[in-house]
Structure 1
Amino acid sequence: MEHGMRVAQLVPALGDGGVERSALEMAAHLSSEGVENWVVSAGGRLEDDLLALGGGHLRLEIGRKSPLAIAANARALARWIDATGIDVLHARSRAPAWVGWRASRIARRKPAFLTTFHGVYGHKGVLKRWYNSAMLRGPVVIANSHFIRDHLERVYGVDRQRVLVAPRGVDPARFDPTTVPAEDRDMLRAELGAGFGDHVQPLLVLVARISRWKGHALLLDALEQVTDRPWHLACIGGADSQTLEADLKARVAQGPLAGRVTFTGSRADIPQILASADLAFSVSTAPEAFGRSVIEAGAMQTAVIGAAHGGTLETLVDGKTGWLFPPGDAVALAARIRVALSDPHSARAMGRAGRTHVLTHFTTRHTLAAEIEGYRRALAQGRPA
């Protein structure tokens, strides 16, 4: 990137999700290269992290979906673009994409506009497809997996020549198992409920926000079939639905899994938890667009059991870095869990293979290089008329 370049990324808010983390990773990279950059959002818990990384922040509620809010936000953003001299607008979500696309057309500056398609949005019905089309209005669309690229071609008829695949990645320095001492792992395992010393049990980990499609209930269904084996499950992540979280906790407390499942809420020490785990899961009942949890576990040398659909088919090598199971099949999932618990030596070997696989294919360096190429292509295509 040229040092005189100015880049703004657009996200609804700076919460603790994959889209926000991707924006911060790009901000850190751009700052390290001397590129002036901002994130435009409603703010959130990661705002201070962004500023510490050298990025700027414009507080604007661009996640609001009403046509009036989108129009007003586009006008405000266009004025800011002209005042700041933004060259590239990179939208990572739909409402921000509408705001950014409109602003790129009404601003005098006319920045290049592109998007990253981070998810499989609902697309049944004319109105939903039209709303989603904001993500396709730039000359370049970045897909976070080959699965998403194929989805764009199949569902929206997008020419794959416009689509640049930039799989998500991990920071190998942050996700490094050698940085987690054995005593720290022992303490974490005890804290999460897996016991200590002679009473330790295999620690199973599901890192996912509590949402129906993330598969918490499915995993509990499977584990109820494996109660004859020692294990303890830690569910790491905040809740999209307080009602669902309460239902899951009540189910655990009143059934055969009582005392064997811990819900931790959001945690900042995900790498350390994964390094302490014996087995990790990605059990979403709908396809993950990419699914960071698989590569994060692999980077920490932890084998993964994953549902065989979506981006997981690109990140998990069945029989080498973990095990795949038919999506939604609790019986098959239970069988994979039983195999993993019965052969911890193979599980550890798969974990080591997982780190090699991640370092070869799924680091932030790979992701950022692909996204920077997207910026170059968007700029080469010219500014909107």
Structure 2
Amino acid sequence: MSDKSEKRALPAILCLTDACDRPESELFIGLKNVGFDVDVMCNPKGRNYQRLVEEGLVAQPMALKNRFDKEGTAAIKAQLNSKSYDVIHAYNPRALACALRASKGTDIKVVAYRGIIGNISFLNPESWITFLHPRVSKIVCVADAIKDYLAGLRLLWLHIPHEKLTRIYKGHDLGWYQAAPVDLGQFGVPEGAFVVCSTGRNNPRKGYDFLIDAISKLPEGVEAHLVLVGDAIDNQDLKAQVSQSAHPERIHFTGFRTDAPAIAAASDVFVLPSTEREGLPRAVIEAMAYGVAPIVTNVGGMPELVEDKSSGLVVPPKNSAALSSAIELLYRDRALLEKLGQAARERIANDFHTSQTVRETGDLYKSLTRKN
């Protein structure tokens, strides 16, 4: 069979997402480039929307309000009626719920994406209109930890069949991370300081209270500065904790930033002290891509991403003493710091590359439709 006829035989895919990030956008483009017929319905306010338009991938703009969005469901149904699709791939619960209703009565395969642990239960009615719906053919988990969590859900005889679950890492490319490191002096960080960076939302499960405590526990001779990137600046409890710390002048809040990866690139260490429910955190991947040594907690998919003592350090969650010891170790051993940073960068390049995501996602579509 010729290459052209092989490409025509590949399944047609309708991808439903919101304001898709760079890895998601490049996955869609990569699938198109290897011959898949891919259309995308997504939020026109997303920063990658125009790139998808230029690649001819956007079927129509769509911003779903909730899981019961009638207008959005009608738009999906109209798109399904306009063309013969083999697979719908829904990248969030809203898209999944609306896609299942829009495709009712068809034999289209429905693929779901899951990027985080938790919030799915056989006792939760909303789970039955999304991930537990019997018409969901596959759930793509972004980490083995998420796959294991879903496989472990039980209620009497109810469970998710093993064959419905698959793990595909979200891929990246070092070429995406070329921004110049940010000047941290604008946040009050002294020139030449040893900098620990952390990026994330203002959420208790991010564990910032443990990280601030860890910085306070550092011995007097270890002068490390902490830069907290994101809306944690609005958390008054954290600010009060900082004010009571041993060296409040060494802890800096940046607020929300669009250049968070470049801030991480200017740092010596990146820490994500999450206490629960992490998937495969983009902030950690971005820091690793810049060659910044990561310290993460043994939560969710993070130990799959950061191999302890090989491409970073992994510590127990909710343990500020262990976090402090890890930071001190890298402060005192700059050779180890450099070694872990380089290994972290190589790990993203070799084991989390976007080409691998394209290949594995394409294989999944072909296995569901028996088209190759």
SS at match of 1:133: coil
Contact 2:139/2:164 (8 A) holds in 1: yes
Q: Which ranges in structure 1 are unaligned for 5 or more consecutive residues?
A: none
Q: Taking structure 1 as reference, are residues 253 and 213 closer, same or farther at Cα in structure 2, changes over 3 Å only?
A: same
CA distance in structure 2 between the aligned counterparts of 1:289 and 1:311, rounded to whole angstroms? 5
Q: Tell me the matched-pair count.
A: 358
SS in 2 for 1:90: strand
Deviation per residue, 1:201-224 (Å, 9 max, x gap): 111111222222122222112112
2:208 is matched by which residue type in structure 1? Answer: H
Question: 1:158 is matched with which residue?
Answer: 160
The CA distance in 2 between the partners of 1:163 and 1:212, in whole Å, is: 29
Is contact 1:288–1:310 with CA below 8 Å preserved after alignment? yes
1:119 equivalent in alignment to 2:116? yes
Partner Cα separation in structure 2 for residue 274 and residue 262 of structure 1: 13
251, 254, 257: which one aligns with 1:261: 251
Alignment-derived partner of residue 14 in structure 2: 8
Moved more, 219-228 or 23-32: 23-32
2:153 aligned counterpart, secondary structure? helix
**8 Å CA contact 2:275, 2:299 repeated in 1:** no
| 1:64 Cα offset (Å) | 0.7
The structure-2 alpha-carbon separation of the partners of 1:158 and 1:99, relative to structure 1 and needing over 3 Å to count, comes to: same
Distance 1:140 1:133, change over 3 A: closer
Query: What SS does the aligned partner of 2:275 have?
Result: coil
Equivalent residue runs for 1:22-101 within 5 Å: 22-33=23-34, 35=36, 37-46=38-47, 47-56=49-58, 58-66=60-68, 69=69, 73-101=72-100
Q: State the distance in 1 between where 2:219 and 2:39 align.
A: 50
62 and 137 in structure 1: CA distance in 2 versus 1, 3 angstrom threshold? farther
- Alpha carbons of structure 1 residues 50 and 219: separation in structure 2 relative to 1, 3 Å: farther
> 1 CA distance for matches of 2:171 and 2:74?
34
Structural RMSD (CA) = 2.9
| Residue 212 of structure 2: aligned partner | 220
Cα pair distance change 1:57/1:193, threshold 3 Å: farther
Q: Identity percentage over the alignment?
A: 22
The secondary structure found in structure 1 opposite 2:160 is coil
Distance 1:233 1:58 in 2: 43
- Give the unaligned 5+ runs of structure 2: 1-5
Q: Deviations over 1:4-57 (max 9, x none)?
A: 85432222x31xxxx644432222323444655443345433233443454315
Describe the SS at the equivalent of 1:306: strand
| Higher share in helix | 1
1:126-137 matched pairs, under 5 angstroms: 126-127=123-124, 129-134=127-132, 137=135
TM superposition score normalised by structure 2: 0.84
Alpha-carbon deviation of 1:124?
5.0
Mapped pair 1:275 → 2:265: yes
- Tell whether the 8 Å contact from 2:118 to 2:277 is kept in structure 1 after alignment: no
Indicate the residue corresponding to 2:3 in structure 1: none
Q: TM-score, normalised by structure 1?
A: 0.82
**Contact residue 302 and residue 354 of structure 1 kept, 8 A:** yes
How do 1:170-209 residues align onto structure 2 when only pairs under 5 Å count? 170-175=172-177, 179=178, 184-185=180-181, 188-196=183-191, 200-209=192-201
Q: Is the 8 A contact 2:121 2:153 kept in 1?
A: no
Q: Which residue of 1 aligns with 2:325?
A: 335
CA offset digits 1:75-100 (Å, max 9, x no partner): 33112221244443101122211111
One-letter code aligned to 1:139: S
Shift, 1:377, TM fit: 2.1
Question: CA separation of 1:148/1:34 partners in 2, compared to 1, >3 Å: closer, same or farther?
Answer: same
